A = this chain, B = another copy of it.
Amino acid sequence: MGRGKCFGQGGWHGKFHGRGYRMTAGREAVINVLSSTKEHLSADEIFIRARKLNPDIGLTTVYRTLERLSIMGEIHRLDPGDKRARFELAESEKGHHHHLVCTKCNRIIDYDDFIDDEVKLLSETEKKLSKKYDFKINNHLIQFYGECKECAE
């Protein structure tokens, strides 16, 4: 039956190998957790869910996997007002989006309305800034801060 499932869904095995890293059960669990949610989870929230897929995984491995994926550009690290970072898959079925961050409850709301103009303007600005400041731009962040409906009343 051949080599079996040499590549997991999405070619993660290959992505790791291409950079000299290895695919492990722990990493697979973290990736599966991130793949199966639209939420913005913190490291320990990911840890709790990953444990259900693989009870042997340690929190340390979650942190290390998140760091690796971040370096690989496969996830985005979000820093809301509170001090725990949150993560989301860069290439999710959510597609490109920006964030509304509630400064009261730290909830993060995704939006992808109205962003076509934003993205267009951004990529133009990116080019200009890149040239002027001799800065290699890899990524951008747009966030609006305020109070969400629940916190406002």
Contacts and interface: CB of A to CB of B under 8 A. Distances in A.
Interface of A: 77, 79, 81, 83, 100, 102-103, 109, 111, 113-114, 117-118, 121, 125-126, 128-129, 132-149, 152
A87 B145 CA distance: 16
10 contacts: A83-B83, A109-B133, A114-B128, A118-B125, A129-B144, A134-B149, A135-B148, A137-B144, A137-B145, A141-B145
Question: When A and B form their complex, which 6 residue pairs have the shortest distance between CB atoms, in order from nearest?
Answer: A79-B79, A137-B146, A134-B149, A139-B145, A136-B147, A138-B146
A149 B128 contact: no
How many copies of this chain?
2
Contact of A114 (B79, B81, B125, B134): B125
Given A109-B133, A135-B149, A117 B121 contact: yes
A83 B83 CA distance: 8
Contact of A138 (B83, B137, B139, B145): B145
Nearest to A128: B114
A152 to B, nearest CB: 6
A138 B104 CA distance: 12
Given A77-B81, A113-B128, A121-B121, 12 more contacts: A83-B83, A100-B135, A102-B135, A111-B129, A111-B133, A113-B129, A114-B128, A134-B148, A135-B147, A135-B148, A138-B146, A141-B145
